[in-house]
Structure 1
Amino acid sequence: MSFGNARAASSRLALAAIAAGIAYVPFAAQADEVVNIYSYRQPALIQPALDAFTAETGIRTEILFLDKGLEDRIAAEGTNSPADVILTVDIARLTTVKEKGVTQALEDETVNANLPAEYRDPEGHWFGITKRARVLYASKERVGDEPITYAELADPKWKGKICMRSGQHDYNLALFSAAISHWGAEKTEEWLTGLKNNLARKPDGGDRPQAKAIMAGECDIALGNTYYVGLMQTNEKDPEEKEWANAIKVVFPTFENGGSHVNVSGVALAKNAPNRDNAVKLIQFLSSPEAQQIQAEQSYEYPVQPGLEASPVVQAFGELNADTLSLAEIAANRKAASEMVDRVGLDDGPSS
């Protein structure tokens, strides 16, 4: 039975039980060998890891995929929510599920041993299990092999040559938040002003269209996440994206500490998890080296545990030296970063 069908059946049972004056316990809470997952991640990306979990433990997984409103749904369901585990991407969304009060803290020796501290909530409400880097897509034809720092994106030599999506998008806000941690607010605002002045056009679209713009000669470099390159390179449904990917190379910009900004895909334990023991087992498994590598290969991301290898497609991008800045610290700067983007008018594009 699918998760949706199970929920419908559960609702019918609840109504019948209430009509008969019988106390009702949701189906998910009765099932000893199931774990219910609410996910912002596409099921195809996580299914191989979930299949491996079921093969190892015998615990069945049910997925409810949502592209928005996941936190609000769990909050509305309250104590009767069937959600055991929450899967999502980006530190902003991980922080949001915690702030919405739909997670619970988990202090687990296995999970903490598997995942570096910078990829875990200090209070145990979320855990990063794969990571992606915020890098540069650079024209193979027009950009040399010299290293580029994040700071250099404000250098006038790049005037009219940079493309990007909205500065208010979570991916960019996380990068700008990291910059605030490294440089302080004053220097970061000066840098954002320089970046704005170097834009080739008003920020627009997602990460992949920036590669298309580079191929078309509209700009020479663009901000983008690493995994999109893998998705473009292997896109059989839309071969045009392979052409976009073939026009670019990945450049890993760095802060002064030599690290490139990274973000994560992560997992959290739902506040009212009816199958808590199974949920903890799933989080333990997802934190394991085996599961990190399965998920990283499916999504063209990186395992978070040092020493684990990315897929051959991702390794071909070049070597990633990940910034060790705490994601919790990055999250704390998000509001300041968002206000800064508006203050400098980044999304207005370059000044005439």
Structure 2
Amino acid sequence: MLAALAATTAISTGSLAQAEGELNLYSSRHYDTDERLYSDFTEQTGITINRIEGKADELIARMEAEGANSPADILLTVDTSRLERAKNAGVLQSIESAVLEERIPANLQDSDNQWFGFSQRARIIFYDTADVSEPPMDYVSLADPKYKGMVCHRSSSNVYSQTLLAAVIENHGEEAAKAWAQGVVDNFARDPEGGDTDQLRGLVSGQCDISISNTYYFARALRKDVSGVTSDIEKIGWVFPAQEAEGAHMNLSGGGVAAHAPNKDNAVKFMEYLASDQAQQYFSAGNDEFPAVEGVPVSESVSKLGAYKADAVDLSAVAKNVPAAQKIFNEVGWK
């Protein structure tokens, strides 16, 4: 059980806001391996981390409701769309940090320095090697009629789906993105359902022949037993898409300093710590993610996926396309 949950925390808002040498973290990252991040930061700085955890949208709404009295110092969440959602809700603030500017690539940070990405997950194509001899080599090819009845994907309400289509819009334009989305819908093997691991299970079960998932779900199944995947993982092949074009689409896990952070200096210190080599290695070793900082080694499970070219598109610009992406999903009937 994590140290502090949104529903059970015994720390009062007043005591949080007035604390010295503390940091109040609102996080939607629910990975036990992040414990090492928090304990090492405290050991290095003496700053105690108080955590409130929940779903991203709930935390953002909570920060909005708390307003200027919010005890939050940091919001951590996953996916570019949620980071942009927090910015648009006015619950983050711009910060100045030479460390973050130097360490985090420009395309992985907000144009106004309100959020920064600290780890990445490539969203790539997986396929049944027994049934697919010529897998799609890019995202555009997923709409090829030759893959009709073969594709599994998550729902349009999922942020990973929204951000991928938002990236297609940024790279190819809205008209092409709509045609692509319609083509993918036409190729569905079943109505969208489940999470990323379920898309991989669909390949093993034979429900579908081609699916999309973030890499860390597959790398996790390489590292440890994941029911319905690991035992038959040799059946699954993968493609880092668009290697001759824009490159593989990347999802971010990142964070920003809260708009009314009572411990702003500590918050900036924590953000800078997350960009350190030590923390970056934890993201990879503990949760099978790719570091955001260039040159940091990846874990064995992640390295098994091989080398690839990432899409260097500005993710701040991609995030702004999410409303257009949702409109397209609705128009093409992507459930």
Question: Do the two structures share a fold, i.e. TM-score over 0.5?
Answer: yes
CA contact 2:145–2:187 (8 Å) conserved in 1 = yes
Partner in structure 2 of residue 156 of structure 1: 145
- Shift in alpha-carbon separation, 1:311–1:270, aligned structure 2, 3 A: same
Partner in structure 1 of residue 28 of structure 2: 40
Partner in structure 1 of residue 16 of structure 2: 28
| C-alpha separation in 2, matches of 1:110 and 1:195 | 42
Letter in 2 for 1:85: I
CA contact 2:31–2:287 (8 Å) conserved in 1 = no
Partner in structure 1 of residue 316 of structure 2: 328
| C-alpha separation in 2, matches of 1:145 and 1:198 | 16
Deviation at 1:126, TM superposition (A): 0.5
Q: Is residue 182 from structure 1 mapped to residue 166 from structure 2 by the alignment?
A: no
Partner in structure 2 of residue 117 of structure 1: 106
Deviation at 1:254, TM superposition (A): 1.4
Q: Deviations over 1:29-70 (max 9, x none)?
A: 443221110000015142111222122212121211112510
Partner in structure 2 of residue 312 of structure 1: 300
Partner in structure 1 of residue 327 of structure 2: 339
| C-alpha separation in 2, matches of 1:214 and 1:8 | 44
Q: Is residue 139 from structure 1 mapped to residue 128 from structure 2 by the alignment?
A: yes
TM normalised by structure 1 equals 0.88
Match among 248, 252, 265 for residue 240 of structure 2: 252
| C-alpha separation in 2, matches of 1:216 and 1:339 | 32
Partner in structure 1 of residue 40 of structure 2: 52
| 5+ long unaligned stretches in structure 1 | 12-25, 348-352
CA contact 1:138–1:248 (8 Å) conserved in 2 = yes
Q: Is residue 223 from structure 1 mapped to residue 179 from structure 2 by the alignment?
A: no
TM normalised by structure 2 equals 0.92
- Shift in alpha-carbon separation, 1:7–1:274, aligned structure 2, 3 A: farther
Match among 233, 236, 244 for residue 222 of structure 2: 233
Partner in structure 1 of residue 74 of structure 2: 85
Query: Based on CA coordinates, which of the two structures has the bigger radius of gyration?
Result: 1
Deviation at 1:343, TM superposition (A): 0.9
Match among 289, 300, 303 for residue 277 of structure 2: 289
Letter in 1 for 2:334: L
Partner in structure 1 of residue 289 of structure 2: 301
CA contact 1:102–1:271 (8 Å) conserved in 2 = yes
| 5+ long unaligned stretches in structure 2 | none
- Shift in alpha-carbon separation, 1:189–1:38, aligned structure 2, 3 A: same
Letter in 2 for 1:108: S
Q: Is residue 168 from structure 1 mapped to residue 168 from structure 2 by the alignment?
A: no
Partner in structure 2 of residue 205 of structure 1: 194
| C-alpha separation in 1, matches of 2:38 and 2:113 | 22
Aligned residue pair count: 331
CA contact 1:233–1:241 (8 Å) conserved in 2 = no
| C-alpha separation in 2, matches of 1:282 and 1:274 | 14
| C-alpha separation in 2, matches of 1:129 and 1:175 | 19
Deviation at 1:263, TM superposition (A): 1.2
Percent identity between the aligned chains?
36
| C-alpha separation in 2, matches of 1:186 and 1:112 | 35
Equivalent positions of 1:68-107 (< 5 A) are: 68-107=57-96
Q: Is residue 66 from structure 1 mapped to residue 54 from structure 2 by the alignment?
A: yes
Deviation at 1:289, TM superposition (A): 2.3
After superposition, the CA RMSD in angstroms is 2.2
Deviation at 1:256, TM superposition (A): 5.4
Letter in 1 for 2:132: V
Match among 197, 203, 206 for residue 214 of structure 1: 203
